[in-house]
Chains A and B, each alone.
Chain A
Amino acid sequence: MSIADPPARADAPEVTRPTVAPSSLSTSAPIKLQARGLNVYYGAKRAVRDVDLDIPANAIMSFIGPSGCGKTSILRCFDRMNDLVPGARVEGTIMLNGEDINGRDILPVEVRRRVGLVFQRPNPFPMTIYDNVAYGPRRHGTSNRAALDEIVESCLGRAALWDEVKDDYRKKSGLSLSGGQQQRLCIARTLATEPDVVLMDEPCSALDPIATLKIEELMADLRARYTIVIVTHNMQQAARVSDRTAFFTMGEDRSGYLVEVGDTSEIFTNPRERLTEDYVSGRFG
């Protein structure tokens, strides 16, 4: 499947979806994203050092580690958001479905359409709930009203927001929602471009515990259709929601590197590395 293919839409038959049964174990699932020799520099400073990482399809992978260990920098490599940071430079390869997303003939906008990003703070557009969700599809050429209606309704449904907004989502501003609802709206908006992968950068850090729980439940539902990567500072959250966990830390030169990656249960109960054990048991960080 070419990265430049138009993404599958809610109104199109799902021929471009990877054929993975939702029940397949994360460890045996095909690799969705693969990073090799990944280095990120901001100006002269190396923020991320030599990361090799495989992210399996239809699973939730969490990135944990102390502040400044490069989790977010790595996350942002997967949808080329670092392109927008002045002075940022990314070395190494990142393959999405076996294709290099930094390849010469690949448009960054295509990568970002296939790899969605949910931000730390909810950032709905100052427009109606409907227009927020329809934003991506409209920009990518869907103008048919019935098709848009269907995308909006199904994405709000998948983001577990439909029941709360179904009466006035065409009129009500996205900004009038609560913080947790806004974040689910942002997830719905991301799902509307039919991504393969959804990246989440500490999506619950600005939310209260009840809203956090809702997002976590939502992630579990989404796993059947999407590959999810979540950066979190909350180790309980990583333990609760993710199938695989990658632990990063900061080296002597203050650049972040990958210490170990494994099934979440392994990382939290029986890590191979001493650094990991110290971190997950709360002795460090």
Chain B
Amino acid sequence: MANSVASIERGKLDRGLTFRERIDPARRITLLAAGAVIALVLMLLVFIAFNGVQIFTASGFSFDAIFNATWNPDSTTAQSFGILPFIAGTVGVMVVAAIIATPLSVGLAIFMAEVAPDWARSVAQPAMEVFVGIPSVVWGWLGITVLVPFLRDDLHGIGFTLGFSWFAGSIVLSLMILPTITSITFDVITSIPAELRSASVALGTTRWQTIRHVVIPAGAAGIMTAIVLGMMRAAGEALAVQMVIGNRGVMPTSLADPMSTLTSEITLDVGNTVAGEPWNQVLWTMGLVLLLMSFGFVLLVRRLGRRRALG
């Protein structure tokens, strides 16, 4: 830095940055970029929060009127804006999708990191990247043309009357989050020091014992992070879910029944409502709930990250 050279020449202590040095281009550009991102996030939060509370402040609905289980927005006699079905639906598809995707993704990541010969890895990794790039509408399209008819026609006997269901949404989502969980888990596992594996192998254990008792425990916090990030993606996905889930605003009771999620209901209804009326305002509230859920996930990921750092 020019400043420190100057101060050495003068043989004096650093006098701090001058105004000109403080606003050098690198500082200005990076500060501007960072400031813009922070401002954008804050503005988004304030905007959604402001709109999300209108149903309570402007339209005078009580908290209980919104956080209840009856969704009946277009009835003239018993109109009700309970959003609990959608919160439950989002949590429901997210959890079931994670339950389906986790064993597959973690297994695949372990295979690629610990077991696969080089040629298999060089096939699996690009395949994973292609997987990530498949647009959600394609997943939804496949779901509606392949999965839903299969459930309706072949699993009719066990309750899939329509095919459109909680289960169909979860299956589609599980495929969409599979590469997310797999690639993060792969990175976590490959970053575990090789010395730990050698230590285990040198004690006369098998490869499976080493994976089961050293690799997986050492990567547990990181694998949890991968699962949470996968669930975040599942919670935020709208289009593919909307195409297969059936979109019925009722509390989910059976995996075989149609239901709806926060995201799918927002995309479905936002075009049918008028700004300022309660139905539109409650959609904003649903958006706010979704945003708060994702903040919760971010906090969870950060906590897990700290646990990883502590080892």
Asked whether A and B interact, the reply is yes
By a CB distance below 8 angstroms, the chain B residues around A79 are 202
Q: Is the CB of A112 within 8 A of B217?
A: no
By a CB distance below 8 angstroms, the chain B residues around A173 are 311
Indicate whether A140 sits within 8 Å of B204 (C-beta atoms), given known contacts A126-B218, A135-B213, A175-B311: yes
Which residue on B lies nearest to A136, using beta carbons? B203
By a CB distance below 8 angstroms, the chain B residues around A211 are none
List CB contacts (< 8 Å) of B188-207 with chain A. 193, 195-196, 198-206
**Among B193, B195, B205, which residue has its beta carbon within 8 angstroms of that of A109?**
B205
Instruction: Say yes or no: is A41 at the interface (Cβ < 8 Å to chain B).
Output: no
Instruction: Say yes or no: is B298 at the interface (Cβ < 8 Å to chain A).
Output: no
**Among A84, A124, A189, which residue has its beta carbon within 8 angstroms of that of B201?**
A84
**Among A124, A126, A175, A189, which residue has its beta carbon within 8 angstroms of that of B203?**
A189
List CB contacts (< 8 Å) of A108-132 with chain B. 109-114, 116-117, 119, 121, 123-127
Instruction: Say yes or no: is B209 at the interface (Cβ < 8 Å to chain A).
Output: yes
Q: Is the CB of B311 within 8 A of A81?
A: no
**Among A81, A127, A140, which residue has its beta carbon within 8 angstroms of that of B202?**
A81
By a CB distance below 8 angstroms, the chain A residues around B202 are 79, 81, 112, 116-117, 119, 190
Q: Is the CB of B201 within 8 A of A136?
A: no
Instruction: Say yes or no: is A139 at the interface (Cβ < 8 Å to chain B).
Output: yes
Q: Is the CB of B217 within 8 A of A127?
A: yes
Q: Is the CB of A123 within 8 A of B209?
A: no
**Among B199, B204, B218, which residue has its beta carbon within 8 angstroms of that of A119?**
B199
Instruction: Say yes or no: is B214 at the interface (Cβ < 8 Å to chain A).
Output: yes
Q: Is the CB of B214 within 8 A of A125?
A: yes
Range class of the B interface residue count: 10 to 19
Smallest beta-carbon distance A254→chain B, Å: 25
By a CB distance below 8 angstroms, the chain A residues around B205 are 109, 136, 139
Q: Is the CB of A125 within 8 A of B195?
A: no
Which residue on B lies nearest to A192, using beta carbons? B203
Instruction: Say yes or no: is A186 at the interface (Cβ < 8 Å to chain B).
Output: yes
Q: Is the CB of B196 within 8 A of A123?
A: yes
By a CB distance below 8 angstroms, the chain A residues around B217 are 126-127
Instruction: Say yes or no: is A276 at the interface (Cβ < 8 Å to chain B).
Output: no
Number of A residues, CB within 8 Å of B: 29
Chain A interface mostly: helix
By a CB distance below 8 angstroms, the chain B residues around A186 are 199
By a CB distance below 8 angstroms, the chain A residues around B199 are 119, 123-125, 186, 189
Indicate whether A193 sits within 8 Å of B195 (C-beta atoms), given known contacts A125-B214, A135-B213, A175-B311: no
Q: Is the CB of A116 within 8 A of B311?
A: no
**Among B198, B203, B206, B218, which residue has its beta carbon within 8 angstroms of that of A135?**
B203
List CB contacts (< 8 Å) of B169-217 with chain A. 193, 195-196, 198-206, 209, 213-214, 217
By a CB distance below 8 angstroms, the chain A residues around B196 are 123, 125-126
Once bound together, how far apart are the Cα atoms of A124 and B198, in whole Å? 11
By a CB distance below 8 angstroms, the chain B residues around A138 are 213
Once bound together, how far apart are the Cα atoms of A126 and B311, in whole Å? 7
Q: Is the CB of B198 within 8 A of A119?
A: yes
Smallest beta-carbon distance B99→chain A, Å: 27
Indicate whether A81 sits within 8 Å of B201 (C-beta atoms), given known contacts A123-B196, A125-B196, A175-B311: yes
Once bound together, how far apart are the Cα atoms of A126 and B219, in whole Å? 10
Q: Quick one: which of B193, B198, B204 has the most chain A CB within 10 A?
A: B204
Smallest beta-carbon distance A3→chain B, Å: 11
By a CB distance below 8 angstroms, the chain A residues around B206 are 109
**Among A81, A119, A139, which residue has its beta carbon within 8 angstroms of that of B209?**
A139
Q: Is the CB of A190 within 8 A of B203?
A: yes
Q: Is the CB of B204 within 8 A of A121?
A: no
By a CB distance below 8 angstroms, the chain B residues around A119 are 195, 198-199, 202
Smallest beta-carbon distance B52→chain A, Å: 43
Per-residue CB proximity of A129-162 to B under 8 Å, as 1/0?
Answer: 0000001101110000000000000000000000
Once bound together, how far apart are the Cα atoms of A114 and B193, in whole Å? 25
Q: Is the CB of A123 within 8 A of B203?
A: no
Once bound together, how far apart are the Cα atoms of A139 and B205, in whole Å? 7
By a CB distance below 8 angstroms, the chain B residues around A121 are 195
List CB contacts (< 8 Å) of B210-264 with chain A. 213-214, 217-218
Q: Is the CB of A136 within 8 A of B195?
A: no
Q: Is the CB of A193 within 8 A of B203?
A: yes
Once bound together, how far apart are the Cα atoms of A119 and B200, in whole Å? 12
Smallest beta-carbon distance B220→chain A, Å: 10
Q: Quick one: which of A126, A190, A193 has the most chain B CB within 10 A?
A: A126
Once bound together, how far apart are the Cα atoms of A53 and B254, in whole Å? 71
Once bound together, how far apart are the Cα atoms of A173 and B310, in whole Å? 11
Q: Which residues of A contact B (CB under 8 A)?
A: 79, 81, 84, 109-114, 116-117, 119, 121, 123-127, 135-136, 138-140, 173, 175, 186, 189-190, 193
Question: Would you mind naming 21 contact pairs between A and B with Cβ atoms under 8 Å apart?
Answer: A79-B202, A109-B206, A112-B202, A113-B203, A116-B202, A116-B203, A119-B198, A119-B199, A121-B195, A123-B195, A123-B198, A123-B199, A124-B199, A125-B214, A126-B196, A126-B311, A135-B200, A136-B204, A139-B204, A140-B204, A175-B311
Known A126-B196, A135-B200, A139-B209; further 20 A-B contacts with Cβ < 8 A:
A79-B202, A81-B198, A84-B198, A109-B205, A109-B206, A112-B202, A112-B203, A113-B204, A119-B195, A119-B199, A123-B193, A123-B199, A125-B200, A125-B218, A126-B217, A127-B217, A135-B213, A139-B204, A140-B204, A186-B199
